Amino acid sequence: MRGDSVGARRVTDPELDRSIVELEYIDDIEVEAEEGGAHVDVSFTLPTAWCSPAFAWMMALDGREAVEGLSGVARCSMRLREHMHAREVTVGVNNDHSFDATFPDADGGIAEVRSTLDAKARLARQYDAVETLLAAGVTHEQIALLTRDDCRFFDEYVAVGVREGAVEIVVDVEPLRRYLDKAMQTGRVAENDRLFRTPEGDDIDPDEAELVHRRARLAHVNMSGQGGVCDALHESRRAELARQ
């Protein structure tokens, strides 16, 4: 059974904001039919044995919730492998223990860590979306004033109205959809709000729009750079495990 067939694709590494399926963290998925629904057992391995236990906990918890949300699945067990805290994360998540109780010495709780990483991911996705609009000829000032209602989403593209709707620009839908998903998930953008925000979550002053975009670029560069490091570590680790 493949990971993308059970909905795990939408679960991300919170530090990289990339799917754990696309990152090839999933080792194995077993499905056992039981009375009342299937039991799905998912094994996964992270790029290093010392990856943050908070990040591992979030991926295990999100994976379990995603799979248990599928039709026909009664329960899901997530098994972290080859990690210094594999047992604590596996036992804690699968038995509904809290992160704080499992790791009483941890510096900060899951909600605080998740909020920080979500804010960073929102900014990185905003950078991609704004770059898409700039490439289509929309100015920083026009982008700052866009609202959710200025965008008409279709399967392959999005039509963006500018100059008070007098002109409609058509761009690739994916960067804007990914950004809007994260912005709405984090409660930063409601239906009629401005589309883009400062890092602090405020409306963007059109005169400051280019500066805000440069700040978003920092988050994008940071996540991309971290992603490259993790890719290299993961590749090296997979080769090492294959030799064992």
**Average pLDDT over the chain, rounded to an integer:** 90
Give pLDDT, residue 226: 80
Average pLDDT over residues 93-105: 95
What does the CA dihedral 191, 192, 198, 201 come to, rounded to 10 degrees?
-60
Give pLDDT, residue 243: 75
Give pLDDT, residue 2: 44
Q: State yes or no: pLDDT of 5 exceeds 80.
A: no
Average pLDDT over residues 164-192: 88
pTM over 0.75: yes
Average pLDDT over residues 136-158: 94
What does the CA dihedral 149, 116, 121, 63 come to, rounded to 10 degrees?
-100
